[in-house]
Structures are given as structure tokens and as C-alpha cells.
Structure 1
Amino acid sequence: MEMLAPKGPSPIPEDASMKEENICQAFSDALLYKIEDIDDKDWNNPQLCSDYVKDIYQYLRQLEILQFINPHHPILVDWLVQIHSKLRLLQETLYVCIPVSQRKLQLVWITALLLASKYEEMFSPNIEGFVYITDNAYTKLKFELGGPLPLHFLRQASKARKQQCYTGYTQNEVLEVMQHVAKNVLKVNENLTKFIAIKNKYASNKFLKISMIPQLNSKAIKDLAFPLMGGS
């Protein structure tokens, strides 16, 4: 009976004189060849940068740690979503705007305080005092508007069957985020919050009324949100 050669690279290097790093690469290829390359079909679209996409997402993961953003102010975010919808801006514009507003918010507040003091105070504090109070934040602010956006990871992950192979996130990390998402969905559906701009936005025909689908009121959503809604 004729033996058929296995598809994909062989896990055993044929040349015994291969260097150690080449042997490691050979074993790595053998382990990964069964994993579908979700970017392989994008080679003819230069905007998707299929040759560099893995390096790009690795860099975005590094930025995610360096550019950590504190929890957003719900009033500000709700208002920004309304303005974004009225102006019909791109999705990316909103996602860039929110972290920028959080990073620059301290500067806006301290500048407003400086202007108000010049208007009302007889002896206004000098600008060096404000710089000191903000831990020299003025000198640290740069034009670094780029960063990892949820849209970047969602678009990539939506093409992958095995998410962890491409996103690098573990199941527990994804679960923690999904619980917070489910909690917010549940609070909106049960009228436990007044911040409903996002629901209204995605209730339009443009977004296929995705925020109105019955699945968002399902038991699965309630079970996900339960630990964060006072459950045990």
C-alpha cells in the first residue's frame, strides 16, 4: 500500500546539520500549519497590509498597555456619541476621540482654572505652579493620537475561528470584558441608566437596528451580567 506524504511542513528537519534556530522554526511551522491564515486572502488589498498585519497587531497590543485609559465619564461619552451621530462621522473618529478626551481632560481643566484665576484673582498663580500641580503633564503631552481601538481588534477577531491564536487574549480575559458589556446592555434594557445614546444610535436602519434585537434581552446576557449586578 502506497503511503501518502502528509500535507504541510514536516516536523522533522531533513538536514541534520541545520542550525538550532532553523530547527525551532521547523517545529514551529509544523505546529502552526493547520491554523488558517485569516489574512491570506487580503494580499491584493494594499490597505489591509496583509504582509505586516501580525506585526501591526503585536504593536497595538503593546500600545494597549502603554496607553491605558481610566474608566470614561459616562456623561461625556454619551454626549460625544450624540454629536458623532449628528455629524455622521466615521466610527474610527469616535473611538479615537474618547481616549484622547480622557488623556487631555486634566489639561483642559487646569487651563480653565488658570484662565478663571486670571479673571477673578488679584494675584493669579503663575503658570509654573499649575505645571507643578499636574506633575509636569504639559511637557508630557505629545501628538500621539494613534492607538489601539476596539474596532481594530473586532474586525480582525471576527475573521478568526480560533480567537486566541490571533488576538492573544485568553478566554478569561474576554469573559471579563463581556461581563461588563452585558452589564451595560442590561442596565439600558431595564431603564437603570439615563445614558442611552449608544442604544439609540444603533437602533437606526443604518446599523440594522442591532441594539433592538431580542438576543440582547436573552438569558445569556443576564447570566453574563449577573456577577456584576449584585449577584454572587
Structure 2
Amino acid sequence: MNERSAARLTRLQEALAEGGSLRLSEAAALCEVSAMTIRRDLAGADGELVLIGGYLMRGDDPRHGTAYDLAVQRDRHAEAKRRLCERALETLEEGDTLFIDCGTTLMPLAMSLPEDLSLTVVTYALNVAEAVSARPGVRLWLLGGAYHGSSRSFSSDDMAETIRSFGLNKAFLSAAGVHPRQGLSCFHFHEVAPKQAAIATAQRRVLVVDASKQGLVRPARFAGLEDIDEVITEEPVAE
């Protein structure tokens, strides 16, 4: 993040220090830039500020509940995530090249990749990479760049292009929100490009999501339900 972007974010944080929200147009006017510039600033930030429904607000504002804490998410619905990942593991085949998304939902999958299959894993998530690196026989590609501690993931300008260069057999995706009309969304804008690149590239796109995410809309939309081939969840996703 450059100095001007950091200065704008600091100014917006100060404006929202006591809570409340700003329209995107108001935030842009306050910083004397375009709305698109504010969106880019947010995409390169670490979740301190979020954009929801055209309004900018603090990510840690308890009234909105939009902040993402990976350590907290790790323990939420852990048993459900384990069961869902067991079902995802059943779809693996010898020689598969897999994309594994960031977050905590797919960690049981990364930690339990079968040792009797030769697999390649592509990920931009450090926690996923750490788990995969302990699995013998699995070839790991960790995509680097700027590190985002809130989600333990990386971002870079060429990440989407790099993902498209792989012959992905399956993309295992997670989402913080699944809505029948507004589609799939996540907390962080830097996750959108790698998710979309994996969806565009993989032969089969698999969404793994527990029931707590259904009906929610998070700040960064990355796909529609029609872009997914299979949904592994506890309950049917509404049409």
C-alpha cells in the first residue's frame, strides 16, 4: 500500500472513530478522490474498514459484526466443517491439481489429503499451505505477495494470471456469505481475484460452506451460485 492510500484510510478511520458510517460518495469527497480509488484502497487494506451496501464502516464495529478474525472463525462450527470436508475428500482422484481457498472452512481438507494419491495443491493461504506441506506426496504451490494477517492470505497484481496458468481439475472454494439472489461473497476484496480466477479455470468448482453462511451477504461479491458446479453443505441452498 502506498503512502497516499494509507493516508486516505487513516483519514477515513478518524472520521469513523466513534462509529457510524459514510456513504461511498461521502468518503470519496472527504478524501478528494473518486469512489473507485476508495474501493482500491479498501481492497489493499487489512479489513479495518469495510464497504457494505454502499456504506463505509469500521470492520470492528460490533453493531455490524463484519470483522473477520481467523482465530475465532477456526473454532466456529468446527465439527460441521470437518464433516463437510470429509465429503469433499471423497471427490479427489489420482493426479488432481487442486485450488484450495483461504479461511478456515477448508482446513480439515488440507490437513487430511490422502497420502496414497499424487496431488498438486495451489493456494494463496498460509494456513492451508502449512497444513498441505506436512502431507507426503503432495506438491504445493503457495502464491505470494502482500500478506494479510486477518485471513493469513496473500495478494498480488498477477495472482489471477498465475492461477489461470495451472490446469486445475478442482477448485475448492469457501464463502462468508451465500445468498440466493446476491450470490457468493467474502469479507476481503483481495480474495475476489484469486477466487474468480479459480472459478474461471477449474474443470469442477466446488463450494464448501456450513449452514451459518446461508442467507448472508458480505462486502466483497465474487460469484453467483450459477458459477458453482457442486455445493457441499449441511442444508440445501435456496434456489
Normalized per residue, which structure has more strand? 2
For normalisation by structure 2, the TM-score amounts to 0.25
Which of these two proteins has the greater Rg computed from alpha carbons?
A: 1
TM-score, normalised via structure 1 length: 0.25
